[in-house]
Chain A
Amino acid sequence: MKVTIAKNDFILDHRRVMYDVKREEIIVADLHVGKSAHFRKAGISLPGYSFVSDILRFQQIIYDYQPKSVLILGDLFHSDKNEEFNEWNELVKSFPEIKFVLVIGNHDLWSMRSSDLEGLDAVNELQRENVFYSHEPTDKADCINFCGHIHPGVKLKGSGKQELSLSCFWLAKNRLVLPAFSELTGLGMVKPKKTDRIYIPVEDKVIEI
């Protein structure tokens, strides 16, 4: 689904990423790479497949859009280094022509110290024209803020006691919150204002409600 934010065009993709048409850039938040391995290390088994499917999903997105750059809005890594970390590095290495930028998130802090990341620029925040990119929602005067962290979800209700909780893109005044890319995360339920816009990834498309 195509949307215009601050006069620029973006594509909201049902695979929970966003594409900046002008910059030819994929924007994504909260990948939580290494979460399942982190659990296993603690003696809690989580099948590894889920992470592999996250990586494959991301690879397919890159093939589809052929972007010049990938911007990650924080929480790329869940915790310390483990084998999933390496798989991610492999992915980054296999696209040497693409620039990867990470806006550091709260989870990333644990891993960054010892990091030997290749092909990835890490910054605390990023300002480009009137867009301010951060991990946690941050207010900045005269700017629109793109961020992650919340893992936004909305609750829908209807007649016959029908109810759904779904992951979403949340566009509020001066702020766009991206859904968490990882399948291994919960939702932070948000209560949007009437003027906000909510976009929900559904099967193979994104719809606005």
Chain B
Amino acid sequence: MNKELFESYYKAKGWKSAPFQKQVFQAISKGQNGLLNVPTGFGKTNALLVPIVMDGMEQYTKKTKIFAVWISPLRALSKEIESSAKDVSAFYNLEWNIASRNGDTPNAERQKQNRKPPQILVTTPESLHLLLAQKKYKDVFSSIAYFVVDEWHELVGSKRGVMIELGLSRLKSLSPQMKIWGISATVGNIDEAERVLFGQTNHSQNSIRVNTNRRKKIKIKSLLPKKSEEYPWAGHLGVKMAHKVIPVIEKYNSTLLFTNTRNQAEMWYQTLMEIAPQFAGQMALHHSSINKEMRRWVENALHEGRLKVVVCTASLDLGVDFRPVEAVIQVGGPKGVARFLQRAGRSGHRPNETSQIYFMPTHSIELLEASALREAIKKGEIESRNPYIRSFDVLAQYMVTLAVSSGFKPENLLSEIRTTHCFQSISEGEFSWLLTYITKGGDALKAYEEFKKVELTDDGLYKVNSKRVAMRHRLSIGTIVGNSALRVKFLRGGFVGTIEEYFISKLKEGDNFWFSGRNLEFIKVRGNTALVRPSKKKKSGKVPAWAGGRMPLSSMLGAGLREQLSHVANKNYYSPELKSLKPTLDKQEQLSAIPTENQLLIESFKTREGYHLVVYPFEGRFIHEALGSLLAYRMSLLLPVSFSIAINDYGFELLSDQPIPVEDALDNDFFTSQNLSQDLAKSINATEMARKQFRDIATISGLVFNGFPGKFKEERHLKANSQLFFNVFREYDSDNLFLQQAYDEAYYHQLEEVRLREVLKRIESLDILVTYPERATPFAFPIMVDRLRTKLTSEKLEDRIKKLQIQFAR
């Protein structure tokens, strides 16, 4: 390819091509695969687009259908990529058809793409699999030359990453000359991320890693209260401190305000409307449950610099290039260094500009997180993203996907999927178990005549023949499991967004609630739609919550927190955050103690609620969930007792209606790593951990179907509860692969047994410091108010019932 032609694009734009952009160009000229490891805002999209389009000029013929697929994990991002691609191809005078396809794409547009496939298709992992479920997919992808995965660091640690691995394994067979490129921000395990992307094929031999040593400059400032007493000890909303962000918003042309949940975003938007009416008309809300026209409008207005502030969630997390954005406000602990950097990078998006991020803690202890973050960024530390392995649920879904389109031959499929990182170790037995599952329902002992999801045809193909099964499958493709949702619409027409059924079910006619930044009055549910009208009530009502995963604190940040506390224990208040936190920390020390890095703090006290035991390992919520269950299990062997376990990122609490024998527990060496595997297995069984994993697995693998849109009621009697499957499998079918997977995921992904061992070893080496505060301490408070609790009991059901009170009608 012609180097001058390459440079001419940058020249025409008045830019200078960066060294890494030249490197990518050379690699693509040589026909290499690659992983581009560059922070956002340095021109990574163009680095790949320009040479790919240039290659298209040479390779492209009238027969070419899809030439390049560009995977972007976020819908908001695809528009950006689409317009860049159009710009580049127009520059090179190509009359290429460039299109996006994702959940927001209207039906007519999809039909058009089916008739005439675009040359560059910007899509999501889910839509890619939907394409693989189409009869003609082999033809459509037969001439694909490039497969680009954007934001690979976001995908690699999720089951959406597994979808990409599977999709790639298929396309590699269809078009062996296809080149694979990944774009990734830095992750702790970048080498592994690269191996996962290329898989066990020769793509990895002919590949290059393109790095840039340029690092984004970041300025971090915490919004500190005048007095620490202004901060609540607990809570996660932080709206009481909202006035603190107004001067920041006023200072910059355009600001993004990130919250950790959609519910919190709604609350913040509402609060800002009340306390800062001067921003009216220049303020907007953006999260994934809001209808797409609204989201599009917000994104466009951001581009054009018409908005002063946008309250948003992870929906605007990734690489979207909103140039006018000058500052970012993060509300609440971001829980990880990588995520914090990602969000900071949303401001000062151009090379060499400085990202400006303000941190707004929602309760006092989060100030520790800010101090620890600053430290970690200074040291350049960043978390790993662990890829999923052996995700049989995703594989089962994929097998049905292929059966829906043109069918598959098992021997070909097995060798194909073994080239992926995820399924390199799948055995023939496991594979044939899955075949039995999709054809007979997974019950090898007894064949059910009626269960005909996938059928084996005479020519040895596995195929779906029923139109109904095919339609239902298309609707359930994907690995993001949400609760069943209702569409919210105005009575007079106009779609507002989607809310979980559970929230709507609690509303009565005439109740008002706050959603999509509006005060709405609930009228009724019709089909799968909740009808509303604008509310005239002054007082705003409830705000819906969506069950999304709360991110756990990363182990890296956990270690950072312990280090910060150690400074405090040694009276070294070196950062502005620690200084501001001093009164709270003094209170903690007065009531209980502040642990150094060599101590494990345990608090034991009694309140009206019962007897509390709170332990502070500072290891993140997943590890705490395991430790809490383990400790509760080991104690429950000493005496019949029931625990309610609460966790947060700093520690965990065991609550009981009877005194907790903390001394006995310590004498019995309850934190030992001996017998860890057995005890953990039992405690996981006794609690909800594997059950929670199973809920997603049941949906992804097609055990549970969440219903047709628009046919809400009719399908209701088909809704089965994943819990039911879990119980039945555990009792009657313990070899069930999906059940095994639930335990494996609980062990390795959630608990990270290896890490748990390390944590226990660390704890064994610590001095245990037990205090008996007379009341709840600042550390304990945020844990105690958490309502998400798991249970563990060794009492007989009858004995438990005797101690409980029935809930009578009022």
Which residues does A use to contact B, with CB under 8 Å? 37-50, 78-79, 82-83, 154-164, 166, 184, 186, 191-194, 198, 200, 202-203, 205, 207, 209
Contact = CB atoms under 8 A, between A and B. Distances in A.
Nearest to B452: A43
Contacts of A155: 806-807
Interface string B778-810: 000000000001010000111011111111110
Closest 5 CB pairs of A and B: A45-B441, A160-B610, A160-B657, A156-B804, A191-B809
A7 to B, nearest CB: 26
Nearest to B658: A160
8 contacts: A49-B728, A155-B806, A160-B609, A160-B643, A160-B644, A162-B791, A163-B804, A193-B808
A187 to B, nearest CB: 11
A191 B808 contact: yes
Interface stretch (B23-31, B307-315, B443-451): B443-451
Interface string B591-608: 000000000000000000
B655 interface: yes
Nearest to A201: B797
A44 B609 contact: no
A157 B731 CA distance: 28
Nearest to B400: A43
Contacts of A41: 450-451
Nearest to A78: B717
Given A47-B733, A184-B724, A156 B805 contact: yes
Interface in B717-754: 717-718, 720-721, 724-725, 728-729, 731-733
A192 B808 contact: yes
Contacts of B81: none
A83 B443 CA distance: 16
A46 B803 contact: no
Contacts of A40: 441, 448, 450-451
Contacts of B702: 43-44
A79 to B, nearest CB: 7
Contacts of B609: 159-161
Given A39-B718, A43-B451, A47-B733, A161 B704 contact: no
Select the residue from A49, A154, A162 with max chain B CB neighbours within 10 A. A162
A40 B720 CA distance: 11
Contacts of A44: 702-705, 718, 720
B437 interface: yes
Contacts of B732: 47, 49-50
B800 A162 contact: yes
Contacts of A82: 450
A162 B472 CA distance: 40
B443 A209 contact: no
Contact of A160 (B611, B797, B798): B611
Contacts of B446: 48
Contacts of B685: none
B653 to A, nearest CB: 10
A43 B469 contact: yes
B442 interface: yes
Contacts of A205: 798
A47 B804 contact: no
Contacts of B472: 43
Nearest to A168: B806
Contacts of B705: 42-44
A32 to B, nearest CB: 10
Nearest to B724: A184
B42 to A, nearest CB: 48
Interface string B447-486: 0111111000000000000100100100000000000000
Contacts of B797: 164, 202-203
Interface residues of B, number: 54
Contacts of B78: none
B656 interface: yes
Contacts of B724: 46, 184
B187 to A, nearest CB: 37
Contact of A79 (B704, B717, B731): B717
A86 to B, nearest CB: 12
A170 to B, nearest CB: 11
B644 A162 contact: yes
A36 to B, nearest CB: 9
Nearest to B729: A47
B804 A162 contact: yes
Given A45-B703, A191-B807, 9 more contacts: A41-B451, A43-B466, A44-B705, A158-B804, A160-B657, A161-B609, A192-B806, A194-B808, A207-B801
A154 to B, nearest CB: 6
B72 interface: no
Interface of B: 437, 441-443, 446, 448-453, 466, 469, 472, 609-611, 642-644, 655-658, 702-705, 717-718, 720-721, 724-725, 728-729, 731-733, 789, 791, 796-798, 800-809
Given A49-B728, A49-B732, A159-B610, A202 B801 contact: yes
A157 B807 contact: yes
A39 B703 CA distance: 10
A37 B720 CA distance: 12
A192 B809 contact: yes
Nearest to B803: A158
B248 to A, nearest CB: 39
A158 B657 contact: yes
Select the residue from A38, A155, A160 with max chain B CB neighbours within 10 A. A160
Nearest to A46: B720
Contact of A50 (B453, B728, B802): B728
Contact of A159 (B449, B643, B657, B703): B657
Contacts of A198: 806
A205 B809 CA distance: 26
A82 B450 CA distance: 9
Contacts of A162: 642, 644, 657, 791, 800, 803-804
Contact of B806 (A38, A43, A83, A156): A156
Contact of B798 (A45, A154, A202): A202
Contact of B807 (A46, A156, A186, A202): A156
B450 A37 contact: yes
A193 B704 CA distance: 36
B809 A193 contact: yes
B765 to A, nearest CB: 32
A35 B703 CA distance: 15
Nearest to A191: B809
B708 to A, nearest CB: 12
Nearest to B705: A44
A92 B650 CA distance: 60
Given A44-B720, A160-B642, A203 B806 contact: no
Contacts of B804: 156-158, 162-164, 209
Given A42-B718, A186-B721, A48 B789 contact: no
Contacts of B453: 43
Nearest to B443: A47
A166 B797 CA distance: 10
Contacts of B725: 46
A73 B451 CA distance: 30
A47 B705 CA distance: 16
A78 to B, nearest CB: 8
A157 B657 CA distance: 11
Nearest to A166: B801
A26 to B, nearest CB: 24
A158 B807 CA distance: 10
Select the residue from B656, B725, B728, B791 with max chain A CB neighbours within 10 A. B728
A186 B791 CA distance: 20
Contacts of A194: 808
Contact of A157 (B449, B733, B805): B805
A48 B798 contact: no
Given A45-B443, A50-B728, A192-B809, A156 B801 contact: yes
Contacts of B718: 39, 42, 44
B648 to A, nearest CB: 15
Contacts of A45: 437, 441-443, 451, 703
